[in-house]
Structure 1
Amino acid sequence: MRKIVLSVILITILVLSYCSNLFLINNPTNPTEVSNFNTGDIAWMLVASALVLLMTPGLGFFYGGMVGKKNVISTMLQSFMAMIIVTVIWVVIGFGLSFGPSIGGFIGNPLPNLFFQGVGTGTSWGLAPTIPFLLFALFQAKFAIITPAIVTGAFAERIRFWAYMLFMVLFILFVYTPLAHMTWHPKGILFNLGVLDFAGGTVVHMSAGWAALAGAMFLGKRKVPKANPARITYVLLGTGLLWFGWFGFNAGSAMGANGLAAQALGTTTVAAAAASMAWVFLDKIMGHKLSAMGACIGAVVGLVAITPAAGYVSIPHAITIGILSSIVSNIIVSKFPKGKIDDALDVFACHGVGGMVGMLLTGVFASGAVYPGLVAKGGAGQGLIFGETNLFIHQLTALIIVSVFAFSMSYILFYVVNKITPLRVTEEKEELGLDISQHGEFL
């Protein structure tokens, strides 16, 4: 069955490549917009793209340090393979599905941009006019890469590697790209509803969180008792890389070297710090020791929660978002029904819940003083704290739509993958450890 699946994927890529060549011959792409590029913006976005890519190996260290020693390599490799597989999928068809001509506001038409045709250096994306279209597409690729990698923490230590890679491809095509189009494309339904998602609260974190919950439910509990974390030092290193890369994630979403980027960098900094502080203080209040794991998880929750709000809220409000999201996620982690649902690394409680809290609080704290476009003609409006309700209602609506879509579609994809090739390793291989049983390697 595995050989059949690989053959189908290879044949599909070859056919798409041939069709793409025909399309290029018969329909040459002529730049419709020659932009006034800004070299400072280009330089910053090149750096930001590299920073966001660094987040994925950072996530690999973050997750790898949390699992048992027999599963470190496999867990980290899941993140690295996302960089490899998703990059190819993005260039072939993913970018077109996300940012191609809109089909009903739900998905893009991939044909004009198959294999990045028409995605060059002489034109630009309408909402990022000062950088080349190619640079915008590559920046967005890094967001697509990290999203399925986030999901892996939920089913750590028990998934077959080939099945994971098949799920990753399907997740990008059927979950990530529709959400990216609906949220960030000018003709997307959530975009036109006035939903605010500065850098991926819905598209990245909520989608990954709900997919993680679906995966944990579908695969069931681990048969082998949970082992002690293999390397707390890996968790610390991973957190540092994530925090560092997140500046590209959020500040880069300003699409230029400008004041908005500086604002996003500031809100990202303080939200992460406040969330980490709140997490360890709450642990102390609840009678736990101040742990490195707690400090790291708290910082990541703050980074997740500020992501949708980064360019729309003030610095003091970013601190509030960090503290509130940390408290909520900490409580969810402690109260999550682990006896029934084995979300191994608390992906839903941290990324899913953190993303939802961030989305709602964007609807509370978004300020026209920070982002004047909110109060301009046709703007989304300000948050609840400023006496306006429309934005909060739109954020809540998006939260419900994205939650239902991401969870249900992800669960269906797990079911489909399991029919093609079993998702779970056998109990014997789980006991042996995925490093040996899946890769023939060990620490």
Structure 2
Amino acid sequence: MRFSLDAGNTAWLLTSASLVLLMTPALAFFYGGMVRGKSVLNMLMMSFSAMGVVGLVWSLWGYSLAFGPNVAAGWFGNPFTNFGLTVSDASSPAASAGVPALVFVAFEATFAVITVALISGAIADRVKIGTWMAFAAVWVTVVYAPLAHWVWGGGMFGADGWVAKHLSMPIDFAGGTVVEINAGAAGLALALLVGERHGWRKDPMRPHNLPFVMLGAGMLWFGWFGFNAGSGLAADGTAGRAWVNTFLAACVGMLAWLGIERFRDGHATSLGAASGTVAALVAITPAAGTVDTYGALAIGTVAGAVCALAVGLKYRFGFDDSLDVVGVHLVGGLVGTVMIGLFATNGNHDSYYPAGSQDGLLYGGGFTQLATQVVIALAAVVWSFGLTYVIGWVFKRTMGWRIPQQGEIGGIDRHEHGETAYETVTQGSVRTGHSVHIGHSVHIGHREIRV
């Protein structure tokens, strides 16, 4: 096959890759604002370190595992075919769109990075940075890359897979299974393994910087246009459809979450606005190119409302998912993936519609596509939760996950990184312009601080 470069599609995918890469620092601010002030640097570091670790793994064997030729009946790709990014433009999955192989590699790398970073919110405030980084390398290899191969690399969820042959072709436009359900199920497994934060459900653990949260959510929303509108690999009508659906779903998801808050708690909060936006973005991700305007509005509304209720499940079932990775990403991913089976439609020429898929139940397609979407959603949950639990258990028995209790109480930033984000007390002095001695007290406003 001869490769013919399409400059427009290539420029759009490079732009989309850059937008998706921005989502990981955006997530760092989103998560960083939600933790206490003594943990914010560690939260930022968990996202940034994921970029470093996953980028290295992806360049060596990760991409090949996800997009190499089928091995073991499509369970994963051959890790040696494209080892070290020895790729061919003509054989790239993006060749038909006229996009060079390395541009496709870059785009997919950013998806792997953000998926790993998402998991970190479930175990905030309490784990060793070294264990986290080692886990990230193993997890992206063993869990993420094979699931990406199933969905996007021609593996088990592809045209020749069991699901397509016995039901219909699964639809996951931009990562409802690979990214959202995958990260949410992994977060649940680690939250159960690592255990509760010291003082959880007893001490106040409120967000320390809500402007950070709002900034992070806004940057995520911006980056998500590359995430979804870039996933068709072309600058065309499907990209436009995905962009509009992404925008509309986030709008109504925010409103739905705020409505639940107002009715339940009497207040519509900034944290709720940010969370509702992200929940709807999660849900529209697998459906962005396959549903019409009404489908996008329905998915966004349901996701905003359901996720607003789901974040309370951790208190009922007793697992400390620090930043609601389960309630937002697992639940939101399930909502979006399954609701494709209701709202998928090929009625618009600008829609993404893989051969062998069917219209959703509400568009005259019957139950087949709905059953297909339920099957792939459950398969992703079982795969991610099961393997993550095993990997996490091995790290618990070897490197160990938890920092010492005193380090957690004093602040993971200082314990793990030797830094604090907001330095107010230094050795021998307080930032008031006056030198004091250890063991003496100093008054700042109406507060007395002993140093």
SS at match of 1:254: coil
Residue 106 of structure 1 contacts residue 189 of structure 1 at CA under 8 Å; is this kept in 2?
no
SS at match of 2:377: helix
Cα shift at 1:227 = 2.5
Match for residue 188 of structure 2?
213
Residue 198 of structure 1 contacts residue 253 of structure 1 at CA under 8 Å; is this kept in 2?
yes
Count, aligned residues: 409
Residue 302 of structure 1 contacts residue 354 of structure 1 at CA under 8 Å; is this kept in 2?
yes
Residue 72 of structure 1 contacts residue 435 of structure 1 at CA under 8 Å; is this kept in 2?
yes
Match for residue 141 of structure 2?
173
CA deviation map 1:245-283 (0-9, x unaligned): 000000000101000000000000000010001100111
Match for residue 383 of structure 1?
360
Cα shift at 1:330 = 1.0
Residue 229 of structure 2 contacts residue 242 of structure 2 at CA under 8 Å; is this kept in 1?
yes
Distance (whole Å) between structure 1 residues aligned to residue 111 and residue 204 of structure 2 = 31
SS at match of 2:81: helix
For the pair 1:202 / 2:171, whether they are aligned, the reply is no
Match for residue 263 of structure 1?
241
Partner letter of residue 272 of structure 2? Answer: G
The two structures have a TM-score, normalised by structure 1, of 0.89
Distance (whole Å) between structure 1 residues aligned to residue 403 and residue 150 of structure 2 = 36
Distance (whole Å) between structure 2 residues aligned to residue 374 and residue 259 of structure 1 = 9
In structure 2, relative to structure 1, the CA distance for the partners of 1:186 and 1:290 (3 Å cut) is same
Q: Which moved more, 1:51-60 or 1:335-344?
A: 335-344
Residue 267 of structure 1 contacts residue 310 of structure 1 at CA under 8 Å; is this kept in 2?
yes
Match for residue 145 of structure 1?
113
For the pair 1:105 / 2:83, whether they are aligned, the reply is no
SS at match of 2:348: coil
SS at match of 1:275: helix
Cα shift at 1:166 = 1.1
Question: Normalized per residue, which structure has more helix?
Answer: 1
Residue 157 of structure 2 contacts residue 170 of structure 2 at CA under 8 Å; is this kept in 1?
no
Residue 383 of structure 1 contacts residue 391 of structure 1 at CA under 8 Å; is this kept in 2?
yes
Distance (whole Å) between structure 1 residues aligned to residue 182 and residue 197 of structure 2 = 23
Question: Is the radius of gyration larger for structure 1 or structure 2?
Answer: 2
> Gapped runs of 5+ residues in structure 2?
422-451
Distance (whole Å) between structure 2 residues aligned to residue 124 and residue 39 of structure 1 = 16
Cα shift at 1:425 = 0.7
The two structures have a TM-score, normalised by structure 2, of 0.88
Match for residue 326 of structure 1?
304
Cα shift at 1:243 = 0.3
CA deviation map 1:143-166 (0-9, x unaligned): 000001000000000111101111
How do residues 300-311 of structure 1 correspond to structure 2 at under 5 angstroms?
300-311=278-289
Distance (whole Å) between structure 1 residues aligned to residue 95 and residue 384 of structure 2 = 26
Cα shift at 1:287 = 2.9
SS at match of 1:114: coil
Q: Which moved more, 1:184-193 or 1:366-375?
A: 366-375
> Gapped runs of 5+ residues in structure 1?
1-32
In structure 2, relative to structure 1, the CA distance for the partners of 1:277 and 1:127 (3 Å cut) is farther
Equivalent residue for 1:188, pick from 156, 165, 183:
156
In structure 2, relative to structure 1, the CA distance for the partners of 1:60 and 1:201 (3 Å cut) is same
Distance (whole Å) between structure 1 residues aligned to residue 10 and residue 294 of structure 2 = 30
Distance (whole Å) between structure 2 residues aligned to residue 42 and residue 92 of structure 1 = 23
In structure 2, relative to structure 1, the CA distance for the partners of 1:211 and 1:115 (3 Å cut) is same
Partner letter of residue 426 of structure 1? Answer: P
Distance (whole Å) between structure 2 residues aligned to residue 339 and residue 359 of structure 1 = 24
SS at match of 1:298: helix
CA deviation map 1:128-176 (0-9, x unaligned): 5310011011100000000010000000001111011111111101110
Identity among equivalent positions (%) equals 37
Match for residue 433 of structure 1?
411
For the pair 1:399 / 2:377, whether they are aligned, the reply is yes
SS at match of 2:322: coil
In structure 2, relative to structure 1, the CA distance for the partners of 1:44 and 1:355 (3 Å cut) is same
Q: Which moved more, 1:58-67 or 1:105-114?
A: 105-114
Residue 58 of structure 2 contacts residue 109 of structure 2 at CA under 8 Å; is this kept in 1?
yes
Distance (whole Å) between structure 2 residues aligned to residue 339 and residue 436 of structure 1 = 31
